[in-house]
């Protein structure tokens, strides 16, 4: 699960710990490698970060190339209305 920083905190930026980095509040921490997961766990236990759930946005109608095939009205161009003729 992604980990989001709640507060600014300094931490290591590579596996050896030779390089440090300031992690800013709102940053999403990478957790692909074991050292990144350990760092995220340390930040969580210290209260500097928290795990979050990623919610993908729901697909909306009318945005895909096959929207017209589905019959979505918003994907069709608007019809022009004919003008009324003047009565003479």
CA distance 69 to 66: 5
Please indicate, yes or no, if residue 47 is contained in any of the structural domains. yes
Q: What sign has the CA pseudo-torsion 75, 77, 82, 83?
A: positive
Residue 86 in any domain: the answer is no
What is the pTM for the complete model shown? Answer: 0.60
- As for how many domains the chain has, the answer is 1
Question: Tens digits of per-residue pLDDT, 13-68?
Answer: 999 989 999 999 999 998 999 999 999 999 999 999 999 887 777 776 665 565 55
Asked if residue 62 belongs to a domain, the reply is: no
Q: Which pLDDT does position 71 carry in this prediction?
A: 57
> Is the per-residue pLDDT at 78 higher than 80?
no
pLDDT band of residue 80 (cuts 50, 70, 90) is: confident
CA atoms within 13 A on the CB side of 12: 14
> Domain residues for 23?
3-51
In this structure, is residue 46 part of a structural domain?
yes
35 belongs to a structural domain:
yes
């Amino acid at each position: 699960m992604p980990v989001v920083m709640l507060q600014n905190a300094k931490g290591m930026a590579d596996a050896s710990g030779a390089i440090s980095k300031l992690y800013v509040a709102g940053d999403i921490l990478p957790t692909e490698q074991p050292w990144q997961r350990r760092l995220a766990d340390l930040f969580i236990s210290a209260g500097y970060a928290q795990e979050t759930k990623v919610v993908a946005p729901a697909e909306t109608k009318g945005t895909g190339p096959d929207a017209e095939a589905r019959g979505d009205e918003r994907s069709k161009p608007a019809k022009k209305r004919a003008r009324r003729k003047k009565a003479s």
